[in-house]
Amino acid sequence: MSGSKLRSRWAALAGAVAAVLLISGCGASAPQEQKPADPVAKVSFEPGADAGEVNPAAPITATVDRGRFDSIALANTDGKQVAGELSKDGKSWHATEALGYGKSYSWTGQAIGDDGKQVPVQGTFSTLQPKKTIRATINPTDNAEVGIAMPISVKFDEAVQDKAGIQRALTVQASVPVEGAWAWLSDRQVDWRPKEYWPAHTHVSVHAKLYGQSYGQGSYGLADLSTEFDIGRAQIVKAAVGTHRLVVMRNGEQVANYAASYGEEYDPGRNTPNGTFIVMQKNPVEIMDNPRYGYRDVRKTWAARFSNHGEFIHENQENAAALGKVNNSHGCINLSAADAKAYFDSALIGDPVEVTGSASTMPPQFDVYDWLLNWDQWTKKSAV
């Protein structure tokens, strides 16, 4: 082989090697470190982290997206844990009790993402502090048996400003369909009554979600209320003043017809007024006073109050000669001792007493006047 050909081969080989080295040199820099991927689990809260003025009765929840809770707790600054429930799939938690007013709460725990990485559960929030909390009561009480005219009454220790908001927090459920409505009888009392008398033997449940409910002007409800009660048999007193008789109807049939004496007809201050009332109290002994008519500390038995104006159905054996003949009482319905006891024993709180034929009519006042208003008048007192 000639020298010139050999030199050509070496030159070509050297060029190829140089090209390889050049190509290799272009990719010879150090590999970049990869940043670890963020955990995929995302925890969120309601209310959000650092929220303030939270209503303690509002729903409190925690949820995790693309993961599940391994542990979770919510506690106040005193260390008291809030009762709650974790969903079966571990993806959500909700409080099962209301929080306290004016408290701070902290979340703790951890979630595990679908990628196996842990995410801390952490965050804080605080609840509102009312200027004032208002107490309420409800009637009838639990397990009571009451008459077919019994209203449901919620009374408040102070005047309610946000009547519509409070009314929306009240619910009535009955074992049979019953049309009824709430009406504000004062700034401190709201009653529910049916349009017609309750059906006999109805079971009634009432719920008042008042805790956390704004009453207006910075005041909030102190506690929720509830009651369950039963309507008894359908008993109605028919008190036709001019007949000098008191008739008792039960389940549509007359069961008693008592000789009676009603209020003096010619003195408006002594009339037994017209209207539909309810039996409000039953007292085996009642001490009666009426300074205007000159008597004090008069003891009468078997007294069933049907008006806060002062009317009772009661025994007045001293007036036996007038029973069934003359109306001469001071407004009460007088019966003989035997008849008064028989009626007393048959009566339930909430039984209607229908007075007709009197020279006067009771004005809608004196606390319990639910049935002195017609249905149109009643529904106009609703705040909703």
Residues designated as active site: 314, 332
H or E element that contains 23 = helix 3-26
Which residues are 183's β-sheet partners? Answer: 191
Helices and strands per DSSP (H, E), number in the chain: 4, 28
* Cα gap 193→148, rounded to integer Å: 10
The percent helix, strand, coil of the chain (3-state, each to 5) is 15, 40, 40
- The structure tokens listed for 35 are 């940043």
Residue 90 CB-density burial (10 A; 0-12 exposed, 13-18 middle, 19+ buried): middle
In sequence order, the 6+-apart residues with CB closer than 8 A to the CB of 179 are: 194, 195, 196
CA angle 221, 227, 228 (to 5 degrees): 160
Report how far apart the first and last C-alpha atoms of the chain are (Å, whole number): 115
Cα–Cα distances (Å) from 42 to 58, 75, 166, 299, 380, in that order, read 23, 21, 38, 76, 51
In sequence order, the 6+-apart residues with CB closer than 8 A to the CB of 316 are: 261, 300, 329, 332, 334, 335, 340
